[in-house]
Amino acid sequence: MGLALRYNLFHGVDAKAVYGALAGYWASLRHGLAERTPRTPPLRATDEYVLHAERAGWTLLSWDGGWEWTRRREAQLHVSRALGCVGLLVFVYDGQCWGYELFDRGAVMDVTALPDRALEAGEVEAVLRRRARPHGHGALDLLRLLGVDLEVAEADEPWWYVVPAAARWRAFAVVMR
C-alpha cells in the first residue's frame, strides 16, 4: 500500500475557530465532536481527525482513514464560508493518484486529480503556472510549496503516512448525539 493522505488547510484562521465552525456544522446534523488521543502512526480505519495549530498562515486538519466524501466536503466548505477564508483539500489515494480542491468562502474554485509521480526540484512552480498534470508525491511538493512542513514515515503494515510539523491542537471524532 502506498501513501494515504487527506488534509484540509484553512488560511488565515486559527485552530480554535476551525474547531468551532466544524462543531457548528456537525451539530446541525445532530452530531457532536468527541476528543480522542491521536495515534502515531495513525490507524487507517479509524474515524478521527487531528487539528493542528496554525503555522505559516495555514491551519491543517488531517482527515481520518474513511473515504466518505459528501459530509466531509460539506464540512470543509462550511468552515470556509463561516470563517470567510480560503481553503484547500489535498488528498493522496494509496500512492496511486493525488489531487486537490481549492475553495474560497465556501465556494469550490478548482478541482484536480493527478496520477502519481514525484516532481523534480524546481518543477512545482512551473507546473502550477502551466496548470499541467504533475504526478506522484507532487501532493507533498504542493503542500511544501505552501509552507506546510512535513515528514514522511512508514508504518508497520506497511503503508506511508505524513507527520505535519505544526503542533497538534486537538484530536477528535464525529459522534452521534
Chain segment 38-83, per-residue pLDDT in tens:
766 555 555 689 999 999 999 999 987 665 778 888 999 999 999 9
Amino acid letter at 162? V
Residue 1 pLDDT grade (very low, low, confident, very high; cuts 50, 70, 90): low
> Which has more pLDDT, 33 or 68?
33
Rounded mean pLDDT of the chain?
A: 80
Across 48-155, where does the E strand assignment appear?
49-52, 58-62, 86-93, 97-104, 107-115, 150-154
CB 11 within 8 A of CB 105: no
For residue 129, is pLDDT > 50? no
Q: Which residue has the higher pLDDT, 129 or 22?
A: 22
Q: What is the model's pLDDT at position 58?
A: 96
Q: What average pLDDT does the segment 154-169 reach? A: 73
Strand ordering across the sheet containing 49-52: 31-36, 168-176, 49-52, 58-62, 5-11, 86-93, 97-104, 107-115
Name the nearest CA neighbour of 17 among 49, 61, 47: 61
The top-scoring range by mean pLDDT among 67-76, 90-99, 131-140, 158-167 is 67-76
Distance CA(88)–CA(76), nearest Å, equals 9
* Residue 48, phi then psi, degrees to nearest 5: -150, 165
> Please, what is the end-to-end C-alpha distance for the chain in angstroms?
35
